[in-house]
């Protein structure tokens, strides 16, 4: 008998599988706030407020203390404490929880995962406030990115993994002809066996969007998941874990299949838990240093990393110059450049930018871009709803120091937030450097820091962008060119560098946006990430196939 949660969500799962096969537009979780009801924003705020100054309830084993010291980038003190659990207790509980989950099979596990996602969807505005006041994202972005878009990514991972598991038949009849003699006949059973305990190490900017693919890909393939939250961004994952545990319990499974692990920045535990031999899967989003360490040291586990990179733009020519500037102004402003997809190094040649109105010099382009950003952010009330707040004080320090890197085309300035006087809101810094000044633009400078890099020719722009991406990694690459040959060159460069290319974005699609079920986020082919969200490679190694055969 199919599990009731599978029956409930089967149709949606089939649609999701169809979506990953066509990769057109599809989004099962509404991104329009109105769909969630007139009081959704306010209800979400109340739910969020209820966590403040309280003990977050999670009935996990091995509690030794309570921890958590989150402070909103908007200045609000959250004062929430979470259970701090012993790693060995979480690992032991995870292992104990496995057998029943494994035996339940792919359908039941997928049904439970989809029910978790449905419950998370219903709480998208509670999540929005939690994400806003931990990551600094503006509210509407936090709602979309951490709510429906993250849920899309979670479902996408479930769809890939479920399809992959279902492609293995559960049984087979093997019947080999023996000439005149009766055939040899065997009955074979094929079982999906999970790899082991999974660890998801989440980041401080997109805890759910980047965390859900690994969580759901591991969980649906039978692996218990320990979710290690960033010390400054715990609440969004605590809510996610609590929802998952509740659904697991209701579905008749051990809630310790999903647990939350927190630590103190002064006593980090991520390395210790990653090196546990029971941990066989690690999904990581964050800085390259720790990502590279995991890749180098965790030989006992499959390691999926999304680290950092230097996203590039090459500007050659455009038939809608103002459209391009507006598009770039939004792109550079969105969440103050704190996205792994925000462009940093923009290559433009001294030969200028060809437009229908004539050639725009590289210098003029820099000023026009700076002005476009300033104009876009002229109204502070509107500006803060795009910029959000700076998540980490380290980013502020980096931003301040970056002013020295080149000629300042647009200085970064603090913007007062109408509702949150202590919010860390700062507008984008735009610099101009020469292509010879590699030190300035060839390393990632996370935050609202962009550089216009002046080259000799567009050919050089393309060559340098390719080199930056191959050496430093990138998740996005954008080209503006009306020259079909140049587009072809850029496509070839993107294939060689293994980076997603966006061409001539002048409207309401932005290079830093990646749509679930359609855009592959990262490729695994350059240093920015060793995996893609989500493709078959992201899911196929999370389980094994074990067979049993006998004569019939």
Residues in contact with a copy of itself by CB under 8 A are 21-25, 102, 164, 167-169, 172-178, 184, 186, 188-191, 193, 195, 295-296, 299, 491, 494-495, 498-509, 515, 518-520, 523-525, 532, 535-537, 540-541, 544-551
Whose Cβ is closer to a copy of itself: residue 25's or residue 266's? Answer: 25
Three-state SS string over 308-351 comes to: CCCCEEEECECCCHHHHHHHHHHHHHHHHHCCCCCCCEEEEECC
Structure tokens at 324: 């391009």
Question: How far is the C-alpha of 129 from the C-alpha of 239, rounded, in Å?
Answer: 12
Burial 40-69 (b: 16+ CB within 10 A, else e): bbeebbebbeebeeeebebebbbeeeebbe
- Taking the complex as a whole, how short is the minimal distance between the CB of residue 347 and a copy of itself, in angstroms? 18
Structure tokens at 239: 């809510």
- Taking the complex as a whole, how short is the minimal distance between the CB of residue 295 and a copy of itself, in angstroms? 6
Helix orientation angle between 139-146 and 380-387, rounded to the nearest 10 degrees:
20
- Taking the complex as a whole, how short is the minimal distance between the CB of residue 493 and a copy of itself, in angstroms? 11
Whose Cβ is closer to a copy of itself: residue 336's or residue 526's? Answer: 526
Phi-psi region of 65 (alpha: psi -120 to 50; beta: other; left: phi over 0): beta
Contact status, residue 271 vs residue 292, Cβ threshold 8 Å = no
Whose Cβ is closer to a copy of itself: residue 169's or residue 418's? Answer: 169
Whose Cβ is closer to a copy of itself: residue 189's or residue 271's? Answer: 189
- Taking the complex as a whole, how short is the minimal distance between the CB of residue 173 and a copy of itself, in angstroms? 6
Whose Cβ is closer to a copy of itself: residue 28's or residue 447's? Answer: 28
Question: How far is the C-alpha of 352 from the C-alpha of 514, rounded, in Å?
Answer: 30
Local structure of 502: helix, strand or coil? strand
Whose Cβ is closer to a copy of itself: residue 48's or residue 538's? Answer: 538
Question: How far is the C-alpha of 543 from the C-alpha of 546, rounded, in Å?
Answer: 10
- Taking the complex as a whole, how short is the minimal distance between the CB of residue 499 and a copy of itself, in angstroms? 7
- Taking the complex as a whole, how short is the minimal distance between the CB of residue 172 and a copy of itself, in angstroms? 4
Local structure of 206: helix, strand or coil? coil
End-to-end CA distance of the chain: 25
- Taking the complex as a whole, how short is the minimal distance between the CB of residue 40 and a copy of itself, in angstroms? 18
Whose Cβ is closer to a copy of itself: residue 246's or residue 506's? Answer: 506
Question: Which of 78, 202, 82 is CA-nearest to residue 134?
Answer: 78
Whose Cβ is closer to a copy of itself: residue 419's or residue 550's? Answer: 550
Whose Cβ is closer to a copy of itself: residue 296's or residue 378's? Answer: 296
- Taking the complex as a whole, how short is the minimal distance between the CB of residue 495 and a copy of itself, in angstroms? 5
Cis peptide before 534 (omega within 30 of 0): yes
Whose Cβ is closer to a copy of itself: residue 127's or residue 539's? Answer: 539
Local structure of 1: helix, strand or coil? coil
- Taking the complex as a whole, how short is the minimal distance between the CB of residue 25 and a copy of itself, in angstroms? 5
Whose Cβ is closer to a copy of itself: residue 195's or residue 445's? Answer: 195
Using CA atoms, how far residue 299 sits from 88, 201, 281, 289, in Å, is 20, 17, 10, 17
What pairs with residue 71 in β-bridges? 77
Contact status, residue 198 vs residue 279, Cβ threshold 8 Å = yes
Question: Which of 122, 133, 211 is CA-nearest to residue 422?
Answer: 133
Q: List Cβ neighbours of 181 (8 Å cut-off, separation of 6 or more).
A: none
What sign for the dihedral angle of Cα 332, 323, 146, 38?
Answer: positive
- Taking the complex as a whole, how short is the minimal distance between the CB of residue 120 and a copy of itself, in angstroms? 22
- Taking the complex as a whole, how short is the minimal distance between the CB of residue 463 and a copy of itself, in angstroms? 17
Q: List Cβ neighbours of 58 (8 Å cut-off, separation of 6 or more).
A: 82, 83, 238, 241, 242, 245, 259, 260
Structure tokens at 18: 């169809």
- Taking the complex as a whole, how short is the minimal distance between the CB of residue 182 and a copy of itself, in angstroms? 10
- Taking the complex as a whole, how short is the minimal distance between the CB of residue 209 and a copy of itself, in angstroms? 18
Whose Cβ is closer to a copy of itself: residue 292's or residue 361's? Answer: 292
Q: List Cβ neighbours of 444 (8 Å cut-off, separation of 6 or more).
A: 288, 308, 309, 310, 344, 472
Whose Cβ is closer to a copy of itself: residue 428's or residue 498's? Answer: 498
């Amino acid at each position: 008998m199919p599990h009731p949660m599978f029956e409930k969500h089967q149709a949606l799962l089939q649609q999701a599988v169809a979506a990953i096969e066509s990769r057109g537009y599809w989004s099962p979780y509404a991104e329009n706030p109105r769909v969630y009801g007139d009081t959704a924003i306010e209800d979400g705020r109340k739910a969020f407020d209820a966590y403040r100054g309280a003990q977050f309830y999670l009935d996990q084993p091995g509690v030794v203390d309570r921890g958590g010291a989150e402070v909103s980038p908007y200045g609000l003190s959250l004062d929430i404490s979470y259970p701090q659990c012993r790693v060995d207790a979480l690992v032991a509980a995870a292992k104990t929880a496995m057998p029943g989950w494994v035996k339940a099979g792919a359908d039941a596990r997928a049904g439970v995962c989809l029910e978790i996602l449905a419950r998370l969807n219903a709480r998208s505005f509670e999540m929005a406030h939690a994400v806003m006041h931990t990551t600094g994202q503006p509210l509407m972005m936090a709602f979309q990115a951490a709510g429906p878009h993250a849920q899309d990514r979670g479902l996408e991972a479930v769809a890939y993994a479920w399809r992959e598991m279902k492609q293995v038949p559960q049984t087979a009849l093997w019947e080999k002809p023996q000439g005149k003699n009766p055939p040899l006949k065997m009955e074979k059973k094929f079982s999906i066996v999970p790899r082991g305990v999974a660890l998801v190490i989440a980041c401080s900017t997109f805890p759910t969007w980047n965390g859900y693919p690994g969580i759901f890909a591991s969980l649906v393939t039978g692996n218990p998941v320990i979710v290690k939250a960033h010390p400054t961004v715990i609440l969004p994952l605590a809510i996610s874990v609590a929802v998952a545990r509740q659904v697991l319990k209701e579905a008749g499974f051990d809630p310790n299949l999903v647990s939350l692990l927190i630590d103190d920045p002064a006593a980090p535990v991520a390395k210790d838990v990653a090196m546990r031999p029971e941990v066989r899967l690690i999904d990581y989003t964050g800085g390259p240093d720790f990502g590279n360490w995991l890749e180098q040291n965790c030989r006992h586990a499959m390691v999926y990393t999304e680290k950092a990179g230097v996203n590039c733009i090459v500007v050659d020519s455009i038939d809608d110059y103002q459209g391009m500037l507006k598009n770039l102004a939004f792109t550079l402003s969105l969440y103050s450049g704190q996205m792994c997809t925000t462009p940093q190094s923009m290559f433009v040649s001294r030969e200028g930018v060809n437009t229908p109105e004539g050639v725009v010099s590289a210098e003029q382009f820099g000023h026009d871009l700076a002005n476009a950003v300033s104009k876009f952010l002229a109204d502070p009330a509107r500006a803060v709803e795009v910029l959000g707040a700076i998540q980490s004080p380290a980013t502020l320090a980096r931003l301040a120091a970056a002013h020295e890197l080149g000629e300042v085309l647009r200085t970064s300035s603090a913007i007062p937030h109408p509702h949150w006087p202590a919010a860390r809101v700062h507008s984008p810094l735009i610099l101009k450097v020469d292509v010879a000044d590699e030190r300035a633009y060839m390393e990632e400078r996370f935050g609202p820091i962009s550089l216009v890099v002046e080259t000799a020719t567009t050919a050089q722009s393309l060559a340098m962008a390719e080199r930056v991406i191959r050496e430093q990694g990138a998740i996005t690459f954008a080209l503006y060119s009306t020259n079909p040959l140049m587009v072809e060159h850029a496509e070839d460069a993107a294939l060689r560098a293994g980076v997603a290319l966006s061409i001539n974005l002048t409207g309401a699609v932005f290079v830093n946006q990646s749509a679930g079920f359609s855009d592959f986020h990262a490729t695994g082919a350059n240093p920015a990430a060793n995996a893609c969200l989500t493709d078959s490679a992201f899911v196929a190694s999370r389980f094994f196939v074990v067979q049993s055969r006998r004569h019939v």
